[in-house]
Every structure is written in C-alpha cells, then in structure tokens.
Structure 1
Amino acid sequence: MGSPRPHPPREAERRATLAVVTAGLGEPSTSRLLADRLAYAARDQLAARGRPADVHVVELRELAGAIADHMVTGFPPARLRDALAEVATVDALIAVTPVFAASYSGLFKSFFDLLEPDALRGTPVLMAATGGTARHSLALEHAVRPLFGYLRAPTVPTAVFAAPEDWGGGDRHTGELAARVERAAGELADMAAGTRGRAAAAPPATGTEAPLDVVPFAEQLAALSVRN
C-alpha cells in the first residue's frame, strides 16, 4: 500500500506574504524608513497571530525608468513585470508615498496604474505617507484612500503619516509615530490573518444573482408629484 498523500497546509499554518511598496526618491528616503518600520511591525503582529510572514520590498525608485517605458510601450521589462505580479498575489500590502502638491507622487500613482484592474481586489492595504509638514497628512484620506477604494482593496482604518518632527522632534513626537505604526500594523494583521486568498475574498460572479427590482424613473417622479 502506498504512502498517504500529504494534506495541504491549514490556513493557520501557511506563511503569509506581505509586499511593501515605497515611492521615496532619495537614498535613503524617509518613505523607505517609514516603510521599514511598518513592515517590521506588521511582520511581528502577524507572527503573534500565528501567521509568520515573508516580506518583499518593492522600491519604486529603482523601477522608475521601467515604469515610464511600460506606460509608453505597453511592454513591461522583466523586473517590473515580476514586481507587478508579486504585488498582485500577496496577502497584504503596505504602500508608502511621499506627498507632493498635496497628493501622492507621480511615481507611486504610475505603478498602481499599471496593475490589472482586479489585481488588488480583496487585498488589505496599510497606507502611509511622508511630507515636509504635518499639514499634508490629509492627502492620505482625500487622495490615497480613494485610489485603493477604486482598486477594490480594503484599507485599514489607521493611516500613518510621518512629518519631519516625527523623526527627531523629541519623545512625544517619536512616541506618537510609534503608536500609530503599531496600531496600523495590528489592524493590517487582523485583516490579513483571516485572508483565504483572493478567490475567497472576492468570489467571482456566478450569473445566478437575483435581478435588482428597479422602479422606473417615470414612476418615481409620478409618485413624488402625488405626495407633493
């Protein structure tokens, strides 16, 4: 009698995959520094939930030329193609952008423009940004969160913004940043720990859904005129 077939690993035993996309332009950059802090915290939080994680960093600065070529020609170089494929298959994503002109950077937006429309569907995302002043922190809410909403990627409630004073402004500022990092990482880990893959997070349409009961607009107007 042959040996028994091995069972596939249970979800709790499968290692999670975490991608970190950072769009800083300097070397080093504060965006990369923030991305690393978030990655370490998220990895630890996932491990505490029984989901040890493999972390992969995508440094967009190194792919800037390839991104521009792909946008013009429609053909991604191999390194960019691998990065896009990797981001599309992870269990969770950390996305960090510098803020320019009250919004995400062009490099950051260009990379996500190149993903397939459903590539991030159901993938939990932790958003973060850096900027020259804390007044730019709202860019996460009015620009970055809507971007991932359009891509149908759920975002964790806590977005992390780091201003210059968060890096060297005394214990109060650095402590506040650390608290935000841990809170956001915990939220991401909570979402990712229950991930069963893209198919479970966003099941395909079966074609058997019940049709919507839509009242014709003319009937709505008629009813409104009677009430008035």
Structure 2
Amino acid sequence: MRTEGFYSKFMKRPLDITASLLAIIMLSPVLLITALLVKVKLGSPVIFMQQRPGLQEKLFMLYKFRTMRDQRDEQGNPLPDELRLTRFGQWLRSTSLDELPELFNILKGDMSMVGPRPLLVQYLPLYNEVQRRRHEVRPGLSGLAQINGRNAISWEQKFKLDIDYVERITFMEDLRIIGATIVKTVCREGIHAPESSTMDVFVGTKERDEKRGS
C-alpha cells in the first residue's frame, strides 16, 4: 500500500472540487450545446451512465455523453460497438466532448482531475495484484496513460503507467498531465486502438502471470 504525501492527502481533493466547479461553469454553454446535439442526432437518453470501480474498488455511476445508437439484433442483444458508433459519436470521442459530464463525477468525489481511468466492472477479477493497485487512488478524467498513447498502447503499458502515477503523485505532475492532456485533445492523438474504432477488450494477464511464477 502506498504512503500518501501532503499533496495527495490534503490538497488534491480541494483542488479537484475547485477545478471541476470552475470548469462546469465555464463550459456550461458547451455542455448544453453538446447535450442538444446528442438529443437531436442520437435521441434519449442524452447521458450514458454505467457503473465503474473507483477508489478501493467502490462502484460509482460514471456519466458520459452518449455516443452510440441503441441497435440490437433479433435476439435483443446490442450490436457490436463498431456498428452502433455513429460518425457523430466518433467526433464526440475524438474531441473528448463525451467525457465532459465526468466533471460532475469529480465534483461529487467519485473521480479526480488526474488519475487512472475508470475501467469496466467486469475487469476487476482479471487484474493481478500489481494492476489492482490502480484503485488505491480516485480514477481520473485524464492520467499518464492518456498522455502517453491512450487507446493506441497495450493494456500492459497502460497499467504500468497507472501504477507509476499511483507511486508518485505530486502537484507538478498533475499540472504536467493536465497541460499535456489539453495538447493531446486538441491534436486528437491516441483516440482509437490501432485496429479498432473503440478500446480493445481487456482479457486479463492474471493467469499468465501466475503460470510464469509457478
């Protein structure tokens, strides 16, 4: 278990509250216009909500703007992401506008401005002990993995970057990540995996790691 420094223990959360509140106020026109566009182009609901694991693996409801149509096959199962993701949805993702509702998650205390990204609940049993350490801190709107390749890097690389962040949280590092995130967002780098329009599914490395150690 990591040892919390002064910044992460006493300053990070108040700064998250201040930054998220200011961002919500300043970006309120963008939030409103994006919500209206989602309503017109994709219909209701405008906000996509899904449970994600946060600090100490406690589940919370993540908010994002909807980017996919609700299309299903004859058995009622959702079609693959690539078929449901519209050109408008791809644009939302490429600009990261779909992530803006997470500012409310930060204000509530579910997330931080900077930290490992909150992943799917079904991945929890697949983590090895090292990978599980990503939940020692609040998940972030952005993080080291997001400024070092985002969805264009492997899962192993993402987890290594997540743990690197957990082990050395500082104010200057958070500022650097936020600044780099703005640049990456403007340049639209690393939005998609190399051969997919969405993030690759994590299948786990736990069993493989256990075999190596046996």
Greater share of residues in strand: 1
Shorter-chain TM-score tier: under 0.3
Q: TM-score, normalised by structure 1?
A: 0.24
Which one has a bigger Cα radius of gyration?
1
Greater share of residues in helix: 2
Q: TM-score, normalised by structure 2?
A: 0.25
